[in-house]
Amino acid sequence: MSDTGPLSTDELLRGIVDEVTEIRIREHSVMQKIAELDRRGAPAELGYKDLPHVLWRAVRWDRKTARKWSSTPRC
């Protein structure tokens, strides 16, 4: 709720769009950092088998999510 009462449907939808935009920006930033870890050979440097294992341990993602993020094409 805002100070002047409940949000209109348009305001509520705009808020959702704004938040999803923020999420996408952050996800893109994370994907770029994961790509840089991969380019640097972080798994070998850190003593892990591969990049999904690095993400699984460091970020505490489940293995499926870690594999998905480490194999996502990056720009």
Q: Per residue in 24-51, pLDDT tens? A: 999 999 999 999 999 999 999 999 999 9
Within-domain flag for 64: yes
pLDDT at residue 5 in the model: 79
Burial of 47 (0-12, 13-18, 19+ CB in 10 A): exposed
Within-domain flag for 3: no
Within-domain flag for 42: yes
Within-domain flag for 2: no
Within-domain flag for 13: yes
Within-domain flag for 54: yes
pLDDT at residue 23 in the model: 98
Number of independent structural domains in the chain: 1
The CB density around residue 64, as the number of other CB atoms within 10 Å, is: 10
Domain span at 67: 9-71
Within-domain flag for 1: no
Within-domain flag for 41: yes
